[in-house]
Structure 1
Amino acid sequence: MSPRTWPGNQDRPALALHCMMGNASYWRPIAAQLQDLVQITAPDMPGHGASPDWDGGPPDFHTTVTRQAAALITRPLDLIGHSIGATVALRIAVAAPEAVRSLTLIEPVLFAASPDPDDTEELQEISEMAQNGAPEDAARRFLTIWGGLDWDMQTTAARKRLARQMAMVVSGNDTLLHDSANILRPDGLESIDAPVMLIMGQDSPNSIPSIAQALASRLQDVGRAVVQDASHMLPITHPTQTAELIRLNLERA
């Protein structure tokens, strides 16, 4: 992973993990708003931003990201994640709750927490497209739901990069849809004693509220918040509101 660290309170480190097909740079405005409280480090996942391409595994993409993110933790810190980054953050917190001072999960896409046949069918169809010679079509469809960007406005180079990244989407699906990483194991979520904040957008896909409810029902100390007029990419579209909600959770720790 290629990490970026912004100015902040060096006595209180925080680690922020981005979404699939994103990169660490979108945490910059949020880091600036929280610099009085924490110092945020945000790595680019393999195959994203300034990091080298993912080698295709094994292990799978989710496990690769989790191991690399966990290696950046040298003392208890505030852990923040968005989308797949939120599921990685949750996986780390379940495995090592003592390493987490607070946990902020923005739009966690752990579909296995609240299975929905529509989610499963959609992601399987997208995976089949990506694996059967149509990665650009797969990327366009994936991003229509989860990316919040206009495919037609992307350059040719950007479209090719997004199409390459579909291999990582495919690899991560087993963890997100079927919990192959066993994040939801008995007493796992319950072992997290740090304050947790679940943040979602008002206009996010229907599965997000049900996932949040399923996770919240098992967490010891949890708050939930909805950002008005926002959807899945709210750290980018609504950084001020997102930062304010993260701050609330940081102050509870």
Structure 2
Amino acid sequence: MTGFARQWGQGPRKALFLHCSLAHSGAWQGLVRALGPGFHITAPDILGHGKAPAIDPAKDLHDQCYQAILPHLPEGRFDAVGHSFGATLALRLAEDMPDRIRSLTLIEPVLFAAAKGSGEFGRYRQVIAEYDRLIGQHSREDAAREFLRLWGAGGGLDDMPEGQQRYMIDRIHFIKASDDALFQDSANLVPRLGQVVAPTLLVQGELCQPITSAIVDRMERDIPETTRIRVPGAGHMVPITHPVPVAQAVLDLFARAG
């Protein structure tokens, strides 16, 4: 296999969990605990994270991350759950292999290209401009601080333990490397939203970035069978900060999907 994957449970129902940028597969621990027994969950480290190999800057980022998770797919049909960048990989699985995906959960998906035409796309480009400037100047620590101000779980970089700070700073280039995938839709995900046949759960935090609402609006409109929830008091890191309501919504989806 490529890289490393955590495994939880030996239950009959198989699921694949794909984490957000700057995290690793262990970020799912709280949600897995809230889901309870009955599942066999596989959570790989996405390229450039955890124990996975580094990304290759000469290759399309989404393509290489996608190819690296394929060896970790559970056998047969399974539920795909993704958060943020991981949600774009889960969506690609649902579009590419509809016969394998029993249900699809997209938590705070950051497929910014889905918001084109909403007005929020251009506004977010302005919001992220300071991060772009700092990363362009190779000010990695300041770029990480600015990015986490926008997308973190509160407290920011300076309130994290030193080891976690270093982990974030060392990987902050991944955010800029994902521009083609997220802003330009290099994997051609947006035009294929209507091809998703799996029952789909769309999760956002009540305090999410405005562009996230625009993205989820487009997905709710184009994906044929969707349920949408907003978690009160939560931001982008909702599966980590509010695992219980997210787990309940996921369990409800699993029950509907059969």
Counterpart in 2 of 1:145? 150
Counterpart in 2 of 1:80? 81
> Aligned equivalents of 1:155 and 1:77: distance in 2?
36
> Aligned equivalents of 2:62 and 2:31: distance in 1?
24
> Aligned equivalents of 1:133 and 1:244: distance in 2?
42
What code does the residue aligned with 2:20 have? C
TM-score (norm 2): 0.90
1:66-90, Cα deviation, whole Å (9 max, x unpaired) = 1122232232210000011111111
> Aligned equivalents of 1:208 and 1:55: distance in 2?
26
Shift of 1:64: 1.8
Q: State the SS of the aligned residue for 1:164.
A: helix
What code does the residue aligned with 1:60 have? D
Counterpart in 2 of 1:5? 7
Percent identical across equivalent pairs?
A: 33
Residues 102 and 194 of structure 1 are in contact (CA less than 8 Å); yes or no, is this contact kept in structure 2?
A: yes
Moved beyond 6 Å, runs of 4+: none
Shift of 1:203: 0.8
TM-score (norm 1): 0.92
1:112-165, Cα deviation, whole Å (9 max, x unpaired) = 001311212333542342132211111111111112242112344433331221
Query: Which structure 2 residues correspond to residues 147-186 of structure 1 after superposition, within 5 A?
Result: 147-148=152-153, 149-185=155-191
> Aligned equivalents of 1:155 and 1:38: distance in 2?
32
Shift of 1:209: 1.2
Query: Which structure 2 residues correspond to residues 90-129 of structure 1 after superposition, within 5 A?
Result: 90-115=91-116, 116-129=121-134
Say which is worse superposed, 190-199 or 36-45, in terms of deviation: 36-45
Aligned pair partner of 2:201 in 193, 197, 200: 197
What code does the residue aligned with 2:252 have? L
Unaligned runs of 5+ in 2: none
Unaligned runs of 5+ in 1: none
CA-atom RMSD in angstroms: 1.7
How many residue pairs get aligned? The number is 249
